[in-house]
Structure 1
Amino acid sequence: MSLRKIIRKQETVDERYPFSLDLIRNFNTLVLESPVTIIAGDNGSGKTTFLEGIAAAAGSILISGEHMEKDHSLSPAFDLADDLKLVWDVKTKNGFFFRASDYITYTRSLAIMREEAWSKMEEIKQRDPNSLEILPYARTYYELKNLYGDGLEKRSHGESFFDLFQARFRPGGFYILDEPEAPLSPQNQLSLLAMIHDMTKEGAKFLISTHSPIFMAYPDADLYEIRDGVLMQSNFEEMTHVQLTRDFLNAPDRYLRHLFD
């Protein structure tokens, strides 16, 4: 186990974002008892902002390997991080903060790195086939190929998303995932859950925001839902997303006829 508890240091009276959000105003303590903690809530409830603040306080890197400070859009996250105290059993250096919105940018940057390394290798070969100058470029190229095959951009969005997690998860890491189910089919969501489960056996810990009832069904996960601006512990049957999805599947006409009348 790694991160054990997230505590609000003080009730900051501040009308600036993100302290203006009801979720942040009302937050006091979150205890991460299970290897997997899941947070659900409607759009605009503050899930992403909350996770960004925790990631900044934890010193998480982005999926690209860059530090969060380099992304100026995350500056409010560091304001929130200053107001959070994180209690660790063992602070891990493994892990990352993942936002679905970062994925396309990262995929493109990997493709550019691989292409540039290949071009440089070819240039050096033509100039001097025996030159040791080629080594760093060859290492970059073959490391990327080993991790991602012919490139994430050569796969479907959902497949490459899945491949990315498979390549980047490490034992003992702390992973903050913001809506990782976004591009995944139900089958691949189950596959990702199986991968997450395998990683928890190796000491990894996950904090996940999601809209997916499939993710919420993860066995023994601690489930939280944001209701009226308050982070409340819940169970699978009481989760709003679960109830609405089940009701819709049981009687879709009852919902759809109001939309198309």
Structure 2
Amino acid sequence: MEIWENNQYVKSIELKSDKIESFSKYPFNLPAIKNLSKLKLHPKVTFIVGENGSGKSTILEAVAASYGFNAEGGTKNFNFSSCDTHSELENYIKLVKGIRKPEDGFFLRAESFYNLATNIDNLDLEQPAISRIIDSYGGISLHKQSHGESFFSVFMNRFRGNGLYILDEPEAALSPSRQMSMISRMHDLVEDNSQFIIATHSPIIMAYPDSIIYEIKNDIRAVRYEETENYLVMKGFLNDNERILNILLGK
């Protein structure tokens, strides 16, 4: 187990169980939330993995919103809301922060990335060209690039280091080779005093070594990379894809 540092940006997440009136309604009825008491975060990279609907994105969204990020993504300076669908979990968690404050930060989520790109374009239409927001994202409208290119452009250009970066399923827009490039860029940012909290399905991204992986099933527990269901399923398929395809196709 890694040594937990005292000066990381966010040290742990705690659920205010005594404030919750009922665990029978969403999102408190999710097993991951019911069994959440205190989750220690890695000073460099924390992964939260699990099946669709397990609650990993709900937890990540609550952490981001509780820290002050816009629930649909972006920096703390973004306040747009195209559809108010985020849960109330942010009001029932406590973030235990370290002594350091990040100089940069970003909440990047695949689900509402289109809304973020639109908001940047709209803000730039209202401002003088000399101070365009898009210049911090590579200079080209995110809508004028492919989904993958624009997602990667944010990661490469907007993330500056000394920051807290919360990423929700970043692999959704990235090819396997770009996911590997993301690991390299993430490592550079970690070396530059950054902390990441990432929800992902990608066995490539979660392979980053200086990290902890929390897997959600009936509860949340720390696991080794090789123990994750994502890794085991992908490894099994690649090692014997013909047999597995025959089973899936009923042959």
TM-score with structure 2 setting the length: 0.86
Q: 1:2 aligned to 2:2?
A: no
Check the 8 A contact 2:82/2:115 in 1, yes or no.
Answer: no
Q: Which has the higher helix share?
A: 1
User: Could you tell me which amino acid in structure 1 is paired with residue 249 of structure 2?
Assistant: F
1:65-84 → structure 2 map (5 Å cutoff): 65-67=77-79, 72-74=84-86, 76=87, 79-84=88-93
Determine the C-alpha separation between the residues in 2 that align with 1:185 and 1:107.
20
Asked if residue 223 in structure 1 is aligned to residue 232 in structure 2, the reply is no
Alignment of 1:86-235 (within 5 A): 86-89=95-98, 90-92=100-102, 94-114=104-124, 116=125, 137-141=128-132, 144-145=134-135, 147-228=137-218, 230-235=219-224
CA spacing shift, 1:201–1:5, aligned 2, 3 Å? same
CA deviations 1:111-154 (Å, max 9, x no partner) are 4455x36xxxxxxxxxxxxxxxxxx512234x534642332233
The correspondence for 2:74, drawn from 40, 60, 63, is 63
Larger radius of gyration: 1
Q: Distance in 2 between matches of 1:106 and 1:8?
A: 29
The equivalent residue for 1:123 is: none
Whether contact under 8 Å (1:34, 1:220) holds in the other structure is no
Structure 2 residue identity aligned to 1:72: D
Q: State the Cα distance separating 1:163 from its structure 2 match.
A: 0.4
Say which SS state the counterpart of residue 101 (structure 1) adopts: coil
Instruction: Quickly say closer, same or farther: Cα 1:70–1:101, change in 2 above 3 A.
Output: closer
Which one of 250, 255, 261 corresponds to residue 244 of structure 2?
255
Displacement, 1:162? Answer: 0.4
Question: What is the root-mean-square deviation in Å for CA atoms of aligned residues?
Answer: 2.2
**C-alpha contact 2:49 2:201 (8 A) present in aligned 1:** yes
Aligned AA for 1:243? L
What is the aligned residue count?
A: 237
Q: For residue 157 of structure 2, what is the amino acid of its counterpart?
A: A
Measured after TM superposition, the shift of residue 108 of structure 1 is 3.0
Q: So what's the TM-score if we normalise by structure 1? A: 0.83
- Residue 80 of structure 1: CA displacement? 1.6
C-alpha deviation, 1:259, in angstroms:
2.2
**Which of 58, 63, 71 is 1:54 aligned to?**
63
Equivalence for 1:129? none
Aligned counterpart, 2:52: 43
Query: How far apart are the structure 1 equivalents of 2:79 and 2:46?
Result: 24
